[in-house]
């Protein structure tokens, strides 16, 4: 397969490249995962070659077009513009432990060489608190006392469940708890109830899926924010939020290909103060990628660089025609939203 040459961009009056330019350079892929994660076994995405390199559009399937349009804006920003000035060339990353049985935790962590921070998924629909405690305990045993553990509930608990879970997990010396409850009001309440325990509360969905990403800060509902380049409309928009919030941030991925992870790495590289390891090591959760040189963790970090896909891998992992058509139609609708036609 011969990769297309970078197109010469001819932006519309709205600043959005013409639809035909995007479609011509787009490749829809379907990548298998190492383990079941976020309710899926494969990760679908569109990768697109822009004038400044390859970029990615990969909102999750359940997101509506208006929410997904921000992801397309991010793809355009990364592929059609130079990235802002960076201040580091390697990003420290955490391991990610899906909702697996405790006996599988060590093998999952082995896919993240050198990582001394682990994010453990909890509050899954078919998981009990006892399951979560066992998984976090296995993670602590694998990392030892010097390892850092954060847990991510993805808004899966109500306030009382979250309070009970915080007490059950506090003995594992948590770095923070990410999105324990779904709403900003619930986050503020659980932060108030558990503040005496000294475990910070991080907001993720309350930032990236909110109409006003700053509302969680205004409500005093979080101690730090988890930000992602694609859902926030791109590197520049995310940096604007970082400058305005005045809280520590963690840059995380949306289970992207290495091309999408490169966007996240560039965002992290632009942030002057980065106190925490970032959730950008998730190429380790993919059983296949679009490049022969994926952004896998080495010595606990990933490099800040652009990623070019392999033509052979794009062909091997091309989505089935029906799925490709679904994704391209979705791109077209989101383009119409960005261009102001819907």
Is 121 part of the annotated catalytic residue set? yes
| Residue 6 per-residue DSSP state | P
Residue 11 has pLDDT above 60, yes or no: no
Cα diameter, the chain: 59
For the chain, how many residues are written? 342
Which has the higher per-residue pLDDT, 14 or 110? Answer: 110
Per-residue pLDDT band at 1 (split at 50, 70, 90)? very low
Topology, domain 90-309: TIM Barrel (3.20.20)
Chain mean pLDDT for the chain: 93
Question: So what's the pLDDT on residue 341?
Answer: 54
Domain boundaries for CATH 3.20.20.120 within the chain: 90-309
Return the higher-pLDDT residue of 341 and 331: 331
Q: How confident is the model at residue 276 (pLDDT cuts 50, 70, 90)?
A: very high
- Taking residue 49's Cβ as centre, other Cβ atoms within 10 Å add up to 22
Per the DSSP assignment, residues forming a β-bridge with 92 are 301
pTM confidence score? 0.92
In the set 43, 191, 228, 335, the catalytic residue is: 228
pLDDT of residue 38: 74
Specify the DSSP class assigned to residue 4: P
Condensed to tens digits (0 to 9), the pLDDT of residues 128-165 reads 999 999 999 999 999 999 999 999 999 999 999 999 99
Domain with CATH 3.30.390.10 in the chain: 19-83+312-338
Q: Are 148 and 277 in contact (CB under 8 A)?
A: yes
In the chain, count H helices and then E strands.
12, 12
Q: Binding site for Mg(2+): what residues are annotated?
A: 152, 178, 204
| Of 121, 135, 150, 208, catalytic | 121
User: Residue holding tokens 């090591």?
Assistant: 281
- All residues at 6 or more sequence positions from 118 whose CB lies less than 8 Å from its CB, including other chains: 94, 95, 96, 97, 109, 112, 139, 143, 147, 148, 149, 150
Looking at residue 40, what is its pLDDT? 86
Q: Which CATH class is domain 19-83+312-338?
A: alpha beta
């Amino acid at each position: 397969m011969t990769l297309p040459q970078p197109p010469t961009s001819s932006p519309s009056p709205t600043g959005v490249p013409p639809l035909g330019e995007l479609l011509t350079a787009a490749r829809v892929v379907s990548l298998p995962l190492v383990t079941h994660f976020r309710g899926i076994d494969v990760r679908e995405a569109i990768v697109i070659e822009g004038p400044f390199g390859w970029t990615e559009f990969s909102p999750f399937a359940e997101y509506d077009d208006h929410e997904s349009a921000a992801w397309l804006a991010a793809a355009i920003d990364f592929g059609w513009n130079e990235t802002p000035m960076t201040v580091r060339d390697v990003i420290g990353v955490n391991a990610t432990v899906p909702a697996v049985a405790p006996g599988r935790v060590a093998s999952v962590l082995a896919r993240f060489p050198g990582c001394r921070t682990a994010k453990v998924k909890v509050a899954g629909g078919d998981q009990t608190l006892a399951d979560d405690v066992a998984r976090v305990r296995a993670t602590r045993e694998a990392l030892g006392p010097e390892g850092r553990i954060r847990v991510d509930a993805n808004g899966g608990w109500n306030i009382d469940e979250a309070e009970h879970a915080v007490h059950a997990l506090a003995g594992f010396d948590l770095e923070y708890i990410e999105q324990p409850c779904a709403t900003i009001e619930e986050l503020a309440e659980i932060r108030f109830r558990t503040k005496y325990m000294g475990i910070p509360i991080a907001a993720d969905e309350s930032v990236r899926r909110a109409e006003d990403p700053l509302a969680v800060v205004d409500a005093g509902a979080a101690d730090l924010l988890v930000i992602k380049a694609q859902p926030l409309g791109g590197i520049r928009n995310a940096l604007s939020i970082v400058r305005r919030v005045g809280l520590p941030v963690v840059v995380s991925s949306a289970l992207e290909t290495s091309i999408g992870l490169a966007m996240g790495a560039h965002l992290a590289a632009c942030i002057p103060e980065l106190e925490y390891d970032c959730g950008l090591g998730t190429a380790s959760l993919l059983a296949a990628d679009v490049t022969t040189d994926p952004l896998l963790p080495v010595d606990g970090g990933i490099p800040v660089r652009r990623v070019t896909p392999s033509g052979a891998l794009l062909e091997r992992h091309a989505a089935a025609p029906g799925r490709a058509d679904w994704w391209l139609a979705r791109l077209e609708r989101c383009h119409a939203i960005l261009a102001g036609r819907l």
